[in-house]
Amino acid sequence: MNKLLVIGRDSSLEFYVNDIFLGNFADSYPDSPLTGIELQVSGEGSHVTFDNVALHSLSPLPVVMFPAAISGDPPFSSDYSPPAQERIGPFVTQPGDYFVSYTMTNAELSALQAEYYSAPIRKEILDAVEANFKDRVDVVIVILDLDAPPQGSLPWGVNWSVQSGSVHNPTTPRFARLGSMWLMTRDGLDMGPALHELLHGFLKSSFIIPTVLASHWGFSSVGGQLGGWDKDTLVYLGNDTYQATGPPISGGSYPTSFGIQANGGNSVPYSNLELWAMGLIPDSELVSVDVAENASYIEAGEGKFTATAIRTYSPSELIARTISDNRPSTATPRAFRGLVVFASTRTKIDMATITQLNREIEEFSMRSLISWGHNFWMATGMRASIHLATASELAR
């Protein structure tokens, strides 16, 4: 596998794939959120775009990107060697050390399905994590061993607040400051709603615009993980009737409608307002947001709705509406650590499931492009990272 460092800030940069040292990326592109970049190349293909720089290889080799570490805690020790399978309190490490498993009873699963907000298993798992793992865990991610949520009993995902303070407040304790995130299916990290639920951990109880749906963007032009239409697609049809579509999904195509609660799972990156709310872009990059007043769908599948008016909120108004204890700042951490817990009624996890989960965890947390959708690093525009592997390193 070849390795090289790339220089240049041109809109199109050509380079030869070889082992020759070309320079330091940070020297020629100082405004990048990355401190440098090392490229590893293999396989077939020739083009990729990142951070407004298009790289085109003169050979048929693709580019897989592994940027330098983003500021924050190092994700793991370079000399760390995961142990053989072991028990950590009620948890068991699994091959690859990407996650720990937790055995729940059928009765506990039934109670969760009956009333997930009050089910005791929620607190039991969180308390066990806090007792057995270091407080370096920014978010606890619980994945249920289900193909799909039972009809009408569980949402696809939910993120419960653990700390009363915001991740933007440096005095907030670190443990689970991004919440206790539950994904109700085995592919929740892969297909979603992982990006959606993780975003809730940054927003907490503060909401920035009027909305018809608490903690989501509703009928607005935010066009992100928490719903809203793409700002450039709104059309007035007359008689207080409008039509719009959601943001483009992976591959560049537009959907036929938009959601007031979510858009496209992990196929959609974080929007401008979402990036600002996460502290990943400064106030100067925030753009205005349109909000439909007294809105309701006419044809949800076609993105048609009625509204008495479209109200535009300027960047300064959006900033003023954000409560002080959740005020985002570019000083907010950009490197996070999570622990994945696989909750199952099975006492032994088969290798096919372990392999699937290991792949999903690796792809969601890696700092490089993936074949479909967006991982966390991609969804943030390569501004932030989350490390989920080497689970046993966090044991007390």
- Tokens found for residue 317: 């108004």
- Distance, CA of 204 to CA of 88 (rounded, Å): 30
What are the backbone dihedrals phi and psi of residue 56, each rounded to the nearest 5 degrees, phi first? -125, 115
Confidence of residue 323 (pLDDT cuts 50, 70, 90): confident
- Residue 371 has what pLDDT? 81
- Tokens found for residue 244: 């719009």
- Residue 258 has what pLDDT? 97
Mean pLDDT of 3-20: 33
- Tokens found for residue 181: 């995130």
Alpha carbon 306 to its chain's center: 31
Domain ranges of the chain: 2-67, 87-187+335-394, 231-322
Confidence of residue 151 (pLDDT cuts 50, 70, 90): low
Mean pLDDT of 378-392: 92
- Tokens found for residue 177: 């400051």
- Distance, CA of 369 to CA of 67 (rounded, Å): 11
Confidence of residue 251 (pLDDT cuts 50, 70, 90): confident
- Distance, CA of 73 to CA of 136 (rounded, Å): 9
232 close to 221: Cβ distance less than 8 angstroms: no
Looking at every residue in the chain, the average pLDDT score rounds to 81
Mean pLDDT of 388-392: 90
Mean pLDDT of 110-137: 93
Burial class (CB in 10 A: 0-12, 13-18, 19+), 182: buried
For 334-379, the pLDDT digits (tens) are 999 999 999 999 999 999 999 999 999 999 998 888 888 999 999 9
- Distance, CA of 356 to CA of 14 (rounded, Å): 36
Mode of pairing for the β-strands spanning 235-238 and 289-293: unpaired
Q: Which helix (H) or strand (E) covers residue 337, if one does?
A: strand 335-344
Roughly what angle, to the nearest 10 degrees, separates helices 120-132 and 106-114?
120
* Confidence check: pLDDT of 220 > 90: yes
- Distance, CA of 273 to CA of 211 (rounded, Å): 14
Mean pLDDT of 56-80: 38
Beta-bridge partners for 224: 227
* Confidence check: pLDDT of 45 > 90: no
- Tokens found for residue 166: 């915001």
Cα 4 to Cα 22, 42, 62, 73, distances in angstroms: 7, 12, 13, 26
Q: What is the pTM of this model?
A: 0.81
Q: How many other CB atoms sit within 10 Å of the CB of residue 41? A: 19
What percentage of the chain has pLDDT greater than the value 90? 61
- Tokens found for residue 97: 């050390």
What percentage of the chain has pLDDT greater than the value 70? 77
- CA nearest 322: which of 151, 153, 204, 225? 204
Q: Which helix (H) or strand (E) covers residue 201, if one does?
A: helix 194-203
Of 306 and 13, which is predicted with more confidence? 306
* Confidence check: pLDDT of 28 > 60: no
- Residue 154 has what pLDDT? 77
Mean pLDDT of 298-318: 97
- Distance, CA of 387 to CA of 250 (rounded, Å): 23
Mean pLDDT of 89-116: 93
